[in-house]
Amino acid sequence: MSEPTKSQAPVGEGRAGPLGATVPALRGLGEMRHVGLIGALAILVVVGLVTRPDNFATASNLISILSLAATIGVITVGATFVIIGGGIDLSVGAVMALASVWATTLATQSYGPVVMAICAVIVGTGAGLVTGWLIAYGRLVPFIATLAMLVAARGLAQRMSDRKTQLIQPENSALVDLSTTRVLGIPLLVYIFALVVVLGWVLLNRTTFGRRTYAVGGNPEAARLAGIDVRRHTMLLYALSGLCCGIAAIIIMARTTTGSSTHGDLYELDAIAAVIIGGTLLTGGRGTIIGSILGLLIFTLITNLFILNGLNTSDQLIAKGLIIVIAVLLQRRNLKERAP
C-alpha cells in the first residue's frame, strides 16, 4: 500500500476517504472481482448439477448449505472489518468456543435461553475488547495479541467445561429452535446470518465508522492526522469481531445443541481464507463484505459437493488450498493492470 496520492487526499469527513481519488476505479475493480467469484460459484453449481442432478439443486440442499455457512459466515463479517482495518484476528474460533461454553454452563442455563444468548454475545465482545485494547493501547502486534487470545480462550473454555460437551437442557430448547424452526422454509439461523451480513454491509459502506475503517487500514498515519482516533477505532474493530464470534456461538449452539471447547477449531483459517478469496487485501484499506461472503460460499459449496459425491476430505483440503492460491494470483494481476 504505497500510493503517494493517499496521504494528500482529504480524510475523515464526507465521502472523500483516503481512497477518495481512487474510489470509482476501486468500485469497478470490486465488481470485476465479484464477477470472478460469481463465475467460480457458477462453475461449482454446474459441477453439482452434472454430478448429482437429483440431490444438488434441491431446496433442502441449498438451505443446508446456507445453514452450514452461517456460523463461519457471521465470523467472516467481523474478520472482514478487522482485515480492512489493517489487522488480523486469529482468535475467532477460540472466542466462539469460549462463548458457547460460558453460555451453556449449568449456572448460565438456569437463567433461560435469552440470558444464554446475551451471555454468548457479551463474552465474545468482551474477549474482542481485551485483544483490541492490547493491540491499540498495549502496542502489541495483532498477530501476537490475537494468537495469545486464541490459546488463552481455548484454555479457559476447556477449564470451564472440564473438557466436556455441555448439552443444552430441554427447558432451554428455545435456543435450539433457531435451527429447527423454519419461516418460509428457511431456518431462523439463516435469517440471523443474513441480518448480520446486511448490517455489516451498511456499517461498512454507509456510515462514518465504515469509512474510518478503510482510512485506518489504508494509512493509519493519514487517518490520525485527519483527526481519527486510530487507537479507539482499532479497539472497536476487534470488539466488533468478538461480537460476531458471540453471535456465531449462538448459531453453533443451536445447530449442535451443545457448547464445547472443541467448537470452532481452525475457524480462523477458514474465515481469513474466505476474506482473502473475497478480494480483501491483508495489508488493509480495501475489501468488501460481499466478496468475503462469496468467498465463504465457494468454500462451503466445495465441502458440500465433495460430500454429496462421496469424495474424501483430504482432496477437499487440496482443492481449497489451490483456490486460495489462484484467487490471490488473480488479484495480484488485477492490481498490476490497474497500476499507472
Partner 1 sequence: MSENVARRGFLVGGAALLAAGCTSNEPAAAPTSSAPAPTAAAGGNDQPGDRVVIGFSAPAADHGWIAAIAKNAETAAKQYSDVEFKPVEPTNDINQQISAVESLIAAKVNALVILPNDGQQLNQVALQATAAGIPVVNLDRVFPNKLAYRTWIGGDNYGMGVAAGHYIGEQLKSKNVSNPVIVEIQGIATLPLTQERSQGFADALKEYGFSVTAKQDAAFTVETGNEVATSLLQAHSKIDAMWNHDDDQGVGVLAAIKEANRSEFIMVGGAGSANAMREIQSGTSVLQATVTYSPTMASSAIKLARLIAQGKGMSDLLEKQVPQSITLASETITKDNVADYMSLGFES
| Residues near partner 1, by CB under 8 A | 52, 54-55, 58, 60-61, 64, 67-68, 105-107, 158, 160-167, 176, 179-180, 187, 252, 255-258, 260-265, 303-304, 307-310, 312-314
Instruction: Compare residues 105 and 334 and give the one whose CB is closer to partner 1.
Output: 105
Nearer to partner 1, 181 or 207 (CB): 181
Cβ atoms of residues 275 and 108 within 8 Å: no
Smallest distance, partner 1 to C-beta of residue 290, A? 24
Least distance from partner 1 to the Cβ atom of residue 319, Å? 15
Nearer to partner 1, 22 or 179 (CB): 179
Toward partner 1, which CB reaches closer, 187 or 246? 187
Query: Rounded to whole angstroms, how far apart are CA atoms 219 and 42?
Result: 36
DSSP states of 20-48: GGGHHHHHHHHHHHHHHHHHHHHHHHHHH
State the nearest-atom distance from the C-beta of 158 to partner 1, in Å: 7
Give the nearer residue to partner 1 in terms of CB position, either 180 or 205. Answer: 180
Residues listed for the chain: 340
Which residues contact residue 25 at a Cβ distance below 8 angstroms, ignoring those fewer than 6 apart?
338
Judged by CB, which is closer to partner 1: 97, or 222?
A: 97
CB of 78 to partner 1, least distance (A): 19
**Joined grid coordinates for residue 152:** 488463552
* Residue number with CB closer to partner 1 (58 or 205): 58
Nine-digit cell string for 242: 468478538
Residue among 54 and 337 whose Cβ is closer to partner 1: 54
Q: To which H or E segment does residue 183 belong?
A: strand 182-183
In 3-state terms the chain splits into helix, strand, coil percentages (rounded to 5) of 75, 0, 25
Q: How far is the CB of 39 from partner 1 (least distance, A)?
A: 24
- Residue 130: CB minimum distance to partner 1, A: 22
Count, in order, helices (H) and strands (E) of the chain. Answer: 15, 4
CA distances, 321 to each of 38, 88, 235, 307 (Å)? 19, 20, 31, 18
Compute the distance between CA of residue 215 and CA of residue 66 in angstroms, rounded to an integer: 32
> For residue 265, which of 45, 14, 78, 90 has the smallest C-alpha distance?
90
Quote the least distance from Cβ 260 to partner 1, whole Å: 5
- Neighbouring C-alpha atoms within 13 Å toward the C-beta of 263: 35
184/207 Cα distance (integer angstroms): 32
**Shortest Cβ distance from residue 116 to partner 1 (Å)?**
13
